[in-house]
Structure 1
Amino acid sequence: MKDYLIKATAFQGTVRAYAIQSTETVEEARRRHDTWATASAALGRTITISTMMGAMLKGQDKLTVKLEGDGPVGPIVADANAKGEVRGYITNPHVDFDLNNKGKLDVARAVGTTGNLSVVKDLGLKEHFTGQVPIVSGEVSEDFTYYFANSEQVPSAVGAGVLVNPDHTILAAGGFILQVMPGATDETIELIEKKIASIPPISTLIREGNTPQQILMLLFGDENVKIHESLPVQFHCSCSKDRIKNAIQSLGDEEIDLMIEEDQGAEATCHFCNEQYRLNIDELRELKKA
């Protein structure tokens, strides 16, 4: 099944909900960056949540998430837009540990428990919206929950999980974001809290074949959920050889001459997707002429 997310409301519109299956998307990120298991979980959770946050935007709006803790994986960065497209990278992909005392991948140890989570939204305005909060646990989902409550003042519950196969490929990945709107009753909030605490981990539900719709049904009950939109999601990078050419051209003739004389060409790698671009001497000379 292809990855997708759904947008929904529940309890007469007093709760806004997003749920996503992101297994293939996270696997594509793992493949491109050659991440090891714990790093895959940290990057996968970040990408999964960022994709849902991107789906909250409209039109050509986009956002950039940066999770920068004091753990060995270093900064994690993800870009997402309103079309369900996401890309991301982790600074140190070759990080893995033994399972933690709960029998799960030790993401908090990899990310670190001190640092910041920042979100920059490009909404097509002159100034970008920027929100930043300290990391509260390094488990990623809890850090985004804290971000929504403190930076956007929207009480939210965020869940994301990644299961990794013994060969480091991704077995299952997915997540949800639930946001309480004005008018929600204490009974509704209490019910949701109990449901979140009682259901299996989100990655387990995805592995067992549950769809995003079924996950929301488990959280809210059949009669409470109203699905508004389904959106395909994928790992997608906007880099291209033409963009690399434009960047090199902007360096000026002197720098291009050095590439020709000393390096016999030029090579660039995109941080987000790890795609490599090479320009030979003839291509560099054409850039000078242009």
Structure 2
Amino acid sequence: MGDYFIKALACGDSLRVITTVTTETVREAQTRHRTWPTATAALGRTLTATMMMAAQQKGDEKITVTIQGGGPIGAIVADANTSGQVRGYVTNPEVHFDLNAQGKLDVARAVGNAGFLSVVKDLGLRENFTGRVPIISGELGDDFTYYFARSEQVPSAVGVGVLVNPDESVKAAGGFIIQVLPGADDAVIEKLENRLKEIPPISKLIDAGHSPEQLLDDLFADHDYRVLQKHSAEFYCDCSKEKFGDSIAGLGTKEIQAMIDEDGGAEVTCQFCETHYQFTADELKALMH
């Protein structure tokens, strides 16, 4: 099957866990936005983390993550729903550097560490929940971990990784979120911390063919976990010509007439998925109130 995530409880139900493989999801994003390797890794890590965060929510809730670290990549924006559907983009997709000292894609240099990671949760209420924390590393996994600790007061470990082929296509992508539930034993936390230091990077495990189930085994070698849910994940954008038409209609008659007079129509491009929508002069006239 394609990409999917698994939700589980581990270590006597004292840890909440999500593992996922998002290779096809990130591959779709790379193809649509034509990102260069370092930008692909940054966008892919953000898409993976955002999708897992949204999967923790309930009902029709949505999450939007914006990362503005001050680096050359500009802003990274991703949003996702509880059904594993995620979309996103970077301001500057053509960003790439030599590998860093660890021999990895230099995501921290692309993202920067002089800005903020913000999360908006659309809970279907009049007021959205918004949390914002400083970027502490730009590697993103550490930054999402810091977000959970600071903004939601939940001790967590977030691992996200993307491997890119020499031809700039996506080789492997995925991640995990582990969260400590109230009452968890200190020994459980210490054991987890030690385990996270032992295992290979998440992208290497996925590149070796590990599924979300096998990632659980990698994280909890004693198999002390129980699976709660398995669900598909995908790059999905809900944009449409009708929605963009509504936006154009909101500009007012004067603006729309200017489009007709100057360009004889309009072309709109969705930032999230790069889909182009054409509006003829007649279609624009129909949008006038």
1:155 equivalenced with 2:155 (yes/no): yes
Task: Give unmatched runs, 5+ long, in structure 1.
Answer: none
Separation of aligned partners in 2, 1:231 and 1:202: 19
Q: Where does residue 82 of structure 1 map in the other structure?
A: 82
Cα separation, 1, equivalents of 2:192 and 2:240: 44
TM-score by length of 1: 0.98
Q: Which residue is 1:233 aligned to?
A: 233
Corresponding residue of 1:125: 125
Equivalents in 2 of 1:147, 1:66: separation in Å? Answer: 12
Q: Equivalents in 1 of 2:156, 2:190: separation in Å?
A: 13
Counterpart for residue 198 of structure 1: 198
- How big is the shift at 1:287? 2.1
Question: What's the C-alpha RMSD, in Å, of the aligned pairs?
Answer: 0.9
Unaligned segments of structure 2, at least 5 residues: none
Q: Counterpart amino acid of 1:87?
A: R
Matched-pair contact (CA < 8 Å) for 2:62–2:123: yes
Please state whether the residue corresponding to 1:193 is helix, strand or coil. Answer: helix
Aligned equivalent of 1:69: 69
Measure, in 1, the Cα distance between the counterparts of 2:223 and 2:143.
31
Percentage of pairs with the same residue: 57
Deviates more, 1:164-173 or 1:183-192: 183-192
Query: Is 1:60 the equivalent of 2:60?
Result: yes
With normalisation by structure 2, the TM-score equals: 0.98
Q: Which whole-Å CA distance do the structure 1 matches of 2:158 and 2:223 have between them?
A: 22
Which whole-Å deviations, capped at 9, do the CAs of 1:205-234 have from their partners, x for residues lacking one?
011110111111111124311000001010
Structure 2 distance, partners of 1:87, 1:49, is: 12
Distance 2:287 2:108 in 1: 46
Residue 273 of structure 1 pairs with residue 257 of structure 2: no
Q: State the alpha-carbon separation in 2 of the partners of residues 141 and 150 from structure 1.
A: 14
The match for 2:209 is 209
- 2:110 and 2:33 mapped to 1: Cα distance? 16
For residues 118 and 286 of structure 1, the distance between their equivalents in structure 2, rounded to whole angstroms, comes to 38
Separation of aligned partners in 1, 2:266 and 2:129: 36
Distance in 2, matches of 1:218 and 1:266, equals 52
Measured after TM superposition, the shift of residue 172 of structure 1 is: 0.2
Report the more deviating stretch, 88-97 or 216-225: 216-225
Instruction: For 2:151 and 2:257, locate their aligned partners in 1 and report how far apart those are by CA, in whole Å.
Output: 48
Q: Distance in 1 between matches of 2:259 and 2:26?
A: 36
Q: Which moves more between the two structures, 264-273 or 213-222?
A: 213-222
Q: Which residue of 2 aligns with 1:110?
A: 110
Alignment partner, residue 250 of structure 1: 250
Greater mean deviation of Cα atoms: 154-163 or 278-287: 278-287
Distance in 2 separating the partners of 1:150 and 1:284: 47
Counterpart amino acid of residue 12 in structure 2: Q
Q: CA deviation at 1:250?
A: 1.4
CA-CA distance at 1:90 after TM superposition:
0.4
Secondary structure, aligned partner of 2:174: strand
For the pair 1:24 / 2:24, whether they are aligned, the reply is yes
CA distance in 2, matches of 1:252, 1:66: 30
Equivalents in 2 of 1:150, 1:24: separation in Å? 31
For residues 11 and 198 of structure 1, the distance between their equivalents in structure 2, rounded to whole angstroms, comes to 18
**Aligned partner of residue 272 in structure 2, secondary structure:** coil
**SS across alignment from 1:223:** coil
CA distance in 2, matches of 1:222, 1:89: 39
Structure 2 CA distance for aligned equivalents of residues 70 and 261 of structure 1: 39
